[in-house]
Structure 1
């Protein structure tokens, strides 16, 4: 049983409605603070982590996460040092699922197979390549499975049944579902009508659906779980707490910990 399956089982055993998964940009604002943020999130109750490797042209990300990538790159973080942060976290937390959210150029850089091998060695569980749709995912899936890494794909709410079937067949660990369209960002408006999507994913035996994009408040977490999601991912709202406390590490860690704790509390029945 992989770490995601164990995590979802643990959430159910605790009587909670779903998982909360914060996103961080690896190396933002620097390596040591980045690692401390991951520690703070887990201490505050994060069920898993979604981690970005900084990239110079993050087309799916809004301004907050773009700025985080720029800070990480500016501090000298590259894929090799990002993997080192993951490895250090994994050594301290053997049970917490860790997913990577990356762009295709970062995978093609060292070679697809080499990238997934490095992912496995670092101890990450899954990879979602944000700009690779499922119809172009065959090579990525093959390399991921060879390395023992779970491939994750996005299931768009307006996707055809054929596309959703393919997402279900090719994804492992969890299925990434969009709470709204557009780029990432902490948008207060969130309207969820995912019944048909979740029903199709269940019929196709997809991994548990987790909602991301626009999850910014505890109310959003509750709405995601009310809609039938198995969990919620929050990115920009988490990273905004990092951005708001640059230069004051204790305040940054405290703000992130308090936010994660509030979001996690929203998963309780």
Structure 2
């Protein structure tokens, strides 16, 4: 059982939904990012989604693209992202960390080396948005053999014919993208998301967590009410990008987490 599996079991026993917060590693710099990440669990975050900055983030909207650019300009690398996770693990050995990014930096490092280093750093799961199920032998299956969950995205365009392929070899949870498009581009609607979550849950026993387009505590509560949890990224990252101090960012995160936990 991974930390992700344990967290969902714990939340289920408590009758609570998961709140997942996304932040970009190294945004706006390593030290500030580490301070933020260390503060997330106390702000109510159940799972941390840690973005790895990349030069061509095709699935990300402008807010997260700018976050990645700030991190890259600050010198952030894949190794630095793993180092940040290692530092976090010195103070927290229970909160799951999902590393989210693109395959190129992993491929450049070498899959075998990366998986060893990620496990050593305390990473629990991976979301690699540019590796489809047809490429599972590249990273998904080796990651699961190394004890890491490989989390797949389902979208509004994932029809019933495609869904089984998406769910194959997925573990930890299914990440349902609530809107068609890039991150931060529209607002998620619970009445539209609910039937899609139910459709996915009919095909898998994994928790289904919804992300993209969730910007307020009210939206987090509404979406968590029709899913096993909710993810907020762009709304948090925009606060960081606006220069708000970590304490204020974490206050905002807590309001989002409280909303999700009230569902």
Normalised TM-score (structure 1): 0.91
Q: Is 1:10 the counterpart of 2:10 in the alignment?
A: yes
Residue 248 of structure 1 is matched in structure 2 by none
Residue 247 of structure 2 is matched in structure 1 by 254
Residue 50 of structure 1 is matched in structure 2 by 49
Measure the CA separation in 1 of the matches of 2:157 and 2:58: 20
Q: Structure 2 residue aligned with 1:240, among 238, 241, 258?
A: 238
Question: What does residue range 63-102 of structure 1 map to in structure 2 within 5 Å?
Answer: 63-102=62-101
Residue 268 of structure 1 is matched in structure 2 by 262
Indicate if the aligned counterparts of 1:186 and 1:215 stay in contact, CA closer than 8 A.
no
Q: CA deviation at 1:100?
A: 0.6
Residue 191 of structure 1 is matched in structure 2 by 189
Residue 159 of structure 2 is matched in structure 1 by 160
Residue 131 of structure 1 is matched in structure 2 by 130
SS in 2 for 1:29: coil
Q: CA deviation at 1:124?
A: 0.5
Measure the CA separation in 1 of the matches of 2:214 and 2:117: 30
Indicate if the aligned counterparts of 2:2 and 2:149 stay in contact, CA closer than 8 A.
no
Question: What does residue range 90-129 of structure 1 map to in structure 2 within 5 Å?
Answer: 90-129=89-128
Indicate if the aligned counterparts of 1:210 and 1:231 stay in contact, CA closer than 8 A.
yes
What CA deviation, in whole Å up to 9, does each residue of 1:121-149 have, x standing for no partner? 11110001012222333322121022211
Q: CA deviation at 1:113?
A: 2.5
Q: CA deviation at 1:195?
A: 4.1
Q: CA deviation at 1:231?
A: 0.8
Unaligned runs of 5+ in 1: 246-250
* The 10-residue stretch of structure 1 (103-112 or 52-61) with the greater mean CA deviation from structure 2: 103-112
Indicate if the aligned counterparts of 1:41 and 1:256 stay in contact, CA closer than 8 A.
no
Q: CA deviation at 1:206?
A: 4.3
Indicate if the aligned counterparts of 2:188 and 2:212 stay in contact, CA closer than 8 A.
no
Q: CA deviation at 1:15?
A: 3.4
Measure the CA separation in 2 of the matches of 1:131 and 1:209: 20
Residue 179 of structure 2 is matched in structure 1 by 180
Normalised TM-score (structure 2): 0.93
Let me know the Cα RMSD of the aligned residues. 1.7
What CA deviation, in whole Å up to 9, does each residue of 1:79-138 have, x standing for no partner? 111110011112211100100111111121112232222211111100010122223333
Measure the CA separation in 1 of the matches of 2:241 and 2:48: 19
SS in 2 for 1:219: helix
Q: How many residues align?
A: 261
Indicate if the aligned counterparts of 2:210 and 2:229 stay in contact, CA closer than 8 A.
yes
* The 10-residue stretch of structure 1 (257-266 or 136-145) with the greater mean CA deviation from structure 2: 136-145
SS in 1 for 2:109: coil
Indicate if the aligned counterparts of 1:60 and 1:130 stay in contact, CA closer than 8 A.
yes
Runs of 4+ with >4 A deviation:
none
Indicate if the aligned counterparts of 1:83 and 1:122 stay in contact, CA closer than 8 A.
yes
